[in-house]
Structure 1
Amino acid sequence: MSWKTIFIKTDNSSAELLSEALLEQGALSVDIHDAAAGTDQEQPLYGEPGLPAGEVWEKAEVSGMFEPDTDINVVLQSITKTLQLPGVPVFRVETIEAQDWVRLTQSQFNPICISSRLWIVPTWHQPPNPSAINLILDPGLAFGTGSHPTTQLCLVWMDQNLKPGETVLDYGCGSGILAIAALKLGAGRVIGVDIDPHAVRAGHANALLNACEPSSCLFATQYPVQSDESGKTEQVDVVVANILSNPLIMLAPILASAVRARGRIVLSGILEPQAKEVMTVYGQWFEMQVHAAQEDWVLLSGVKKTVQ
């Protein structure tokens, strides 16, 4: 079986209306994304704190998936009439063939050796080294299988540098792999934060798979601000953020405020040409350095200054 997917270029004033119109015409699913993604005009929108709710890319593209026998011309004519457009919008149609997505995904991921004592093991495999620290992982709908260099850089850093009993915040936790790894490597308490509810659910599920103590492992869609009697926000010993350079720059004040004095920050998801800009921004609060690199990606680490 296959599906027809129509892609329509639009702007931020019409994207929501177009997506609703596609649903009314029988679309099985719709999506709004940046029409300039992958180019110099790509616009970073991540739904993080400080951005207007519901903000859409200036140059957007709306896609709708339909049953294979759908007459796309009829759909376009109906949308043009309903939205009172001056003419049929610019579009393209692609055919998506059905696949066994579960088997396809599983075939791409095998156990990964991070170090002599640390392995990542997908749930559909047996641990190659039962005596090692094995992170049993089912990514589900969340990012984070451990196969990407940015994740591996973070895992190696934690394996070599995390101290017993430290508190760790994994911001942009995805599947929860870094938060769970920190706990199994000796952290006293970990917090995984992700704006995607699917990621939070995946984190909870993976924590259960790894027999993590619930009181020591928390997942949430926003950083849980806890204040003591003086009104001060709780701070952690280590913040790990494996995202991308643009959101890392935008989140710098939030992540910096989460780290205690002389605490540490670990940043990944950064391409080598972007490292200097990220270091400059975080240098307001931290003594930063390039800690390691893998392929075209770098990992930055820093110690929070006592006086800023």
Structure 2
Amino acid sequence: MAWLELRVVTTKQYAEAIGDFLNEEGALAITLRDGKDQPILEPGVGETPLWQDVDVVALFDASADLEPVREQLYTQFDNLQVKIDPLEDQDWTATWREHFEPMLFADRLWVHADWHEVNVSESQVKMLLNPGLAFGTGTHPTTAMCLNWLAANLKTGSDVIDFGCGSGILAIAALKLGASHVRCVDIDPQALDAMHYNAEQNELNLSCYQAVLPDQLETQAADVLVANILANPLIHLAPKFASLVKSKGMLVLSGILVEQVERVQKAYLNDFDIVKLEQKDEWVCLVAERKAY
């Protein structure tokens, strides 16, 4: 079966409205993509992408008349470009899947989609995570650094908190790597739904994790707290995180731009010893140990 692909080159100001318009015009699928490879955090469940330049890509049946749709786009929105191309079914499938290759972290943890077969060694584990339409085509550096740390350092039987869990990738990775229990926290209820769904896909029992809003989080300290969010929330949450990590426990913070590292470190120095700063592209992951108390 053949399709038509309509691509709109626009900005974040109009991306959501254009997506809604194309949906109303009968689009079968809509993908939001980074228009200029801008390094930002991948959007969470239900969020609008934060890229400055956005490509809105819509899939239509080959019989659709898209010229009136093109004209309406130019009438309703400013500063955009619209391109319409035929697309064969096998091309669409290949385009959709070719970017989601299995990924290996610290030679121990495989992350893969359900259309891939992954053979693991006795020392390796694997987790299933299918990407959503709006999540881009790869693991963001901030996520990758957290996954690498977990795969290389997490001790079997650890109690873990994943603060800002999103899809649950870090929480599920921790459980696959031997954590005894993970508390998943997010301000977005849709993220908690995504965590439950992905945990079920990985055949994880509800007894080994909780997925809650911040005000529902149990307050006992954990062996490890990982938070892949943004610098300003990390700074604001420093006292809370200090209370949630056991004496000599580990803290893994990501979502920090290089120029923000000094401010984040300063917020944590009273209660934590900085163990490691890892940089990937423009992003930094901070690893710290809770001071003895």
Normalised-by-shorter TM-score class:
0.5 to 0.7
Q: How does 1:134-213 map to 2 (within 5 A)?
A: 134-141=125-132, 149-194=141-186, 199-213=191-205
For the residues of structure 2 that align with 1:24 and 1:296, how far apart are their CA atoms?
35
Aligned to 1:240: 226
Question: Does structure 1 conserve the Cα–Cα contact (< 8 Å) formed by 2:271 and 2:291?
Answer: yes
Compared CA separation, residues 219 and 127, structure 1 to 2 (3 A): farther
Bigger CA radius of gyration: 1
Q: Establish whether residue 26 from structure 1 lines up as the match of residue 25 from structure 2.
A: yes
Aligned to 2:68: 71
Aligned to 2:110: 120
For the residues of structure 1 that align with 2:165 and 2:246, how far apart are their CA atoms?
23
Compared CA separation, residues 169 and 204, structure 1 to 2 (3 A): same
Compared CA separation, residues 38 and 185, structure 1 to 2 (3 A): closer
For the residues of structure 1 that align with 2:142 and 2:268, how far apart are their CA atoms?
19
Compared CA separation, residues 69 and 192, structure 1 to 2 (3 A): same
Aligned to 1:280: 266
TM-score, normalisation: structure 1: 0.64
Aligned to 2:236: 253
For the residues of structure 2 that align with 1:144 and 1:38, how far apart are their CA atoms?
11
Question: Does structure 1 conserve the Cα–Cα contact (< 8 Å) formed by 2:227 and 2:252?
Answer: yes
Compared CA separation, residues 274 and 252, structure 1 to 2 (3 A): closer
For the residues of structure 2 that align with 1:21 and 1:104, how far apart are their CA atoms?
21
Question: Does structure 2 conserve the Cα–Cα contact (< 8 Å) formed by 1:135 and 1:180?
Answer: no
For the residues of structure 2 that align with 1:33 and 1:143, how far apart are their CA atoms?
8
Larger displacement relative to structure 2 (69-78 or 120-129)? 69-78
Query: Given the alignment, which residue of 68, 83, 93 partners 1:94?
Result: 83
Q: Which secondary structure state, in structure 2, belongs to the residue aligned with residue 109 of structure 1?
A: coil
RMSD (CA atoms)? 4.8
For the residues of structure 1 that align with 2:169 and 2:23, how far apart are their CA atoms?
39
Unaligned residue ranges in structure 1 (runs of 5+): 49-53, 80-87, 228-232
For the residues of structure 2 that align with 1:36 and 1:144, how far apart are their CA atoms?
12
Compared CA separation, residues 36 and 251, structure 1 to 2 (3 A): farther
For the residues of structure 2 that align with 1:195 and 1:93, how far apart are their CA atoms?
36
| Deviation by residue 1:141-185 (Cα, 9 ceiling, x = unmatched) | 285998555434323423444344332112333443321232233
Question: Does structure 2 conserve the Cα–Cα contact (< 8 Å) formed by 1:30 and 1:62?
Answer: no
Compared CA separation, residues 23 and 143, structure 1 to 2 (3 A): closer
Compared CA separation, residues 15 and 225, structure 1 to 2 (3 A): same
| Deviation by residue 1:119-143 (Cα, 9 ceiling, x = unmatched) | 31524213231x2241221233285
TM-score, normalisation: structure 2: 0.66
Compared CA separation, residues 200 and 55, structure 1 to 2 (3 A): closer
* Paired amino acid for 2:231: L
For the residues of structure 2 that align with 1:302 and 1:225, how far apart are their CA atoms?
25
* Paired amino acid for 2:72: V
Question: Does structure 2 conserve the Cα–Cα contact (< 8 Å) formed by 1:139 and 1:202?
Answer: no
Compared CA separation, residues 106 and 157, structure 1 to 2 (3 A): same
Query: Which structure has greater helix proportion?
Result: 2
Larger displacement relative to structure 2 (69-78 or 211-220)? 69-78
Compared CA separation, residues 27 and 70, structure 1 to 2 (3 A): farther
Compared CA separation, residues 283 and 197, structure 1 to 2 (3 A): same
Query: Given the alignment, which residue of 3, 6, 9 partners 1:4?
Result: 6
The alignment-based identity, stated in percent, is 29
Question: Does structure 2 conserve the Cα–Cα contact (< 8 Å) formed by 1:170 and 1:240?
Answer: yes
For the residues of structure 2 that align with 1:282 and 1:137, how far apart are their CA atoms?
34
Alignment length (residue pairs): 275
* Paired amino acid for 1:69: L
Compared CA separation, residues 15 and 95, structure 1 to 2 (3 A): closer
Compared CA separation, residues 192 and 104, structure 1 to 2 (3 A): same
Compared CA separation, residues 145 and 204, structure 1 to 2 (3 A): farther
Compared CA separation, residues 144 and 182, structure 1 to 2 (3 A): farther
Question: Does structure 2 conserve the Cα–Cα contact (< 8 Å) formed by 1:143 and 1:174?
Answer: no
Question: Does structure 2 conserve the Cα–Cα contact (< 8 Å) formed by 1:145 and 1:175?
Answer: no
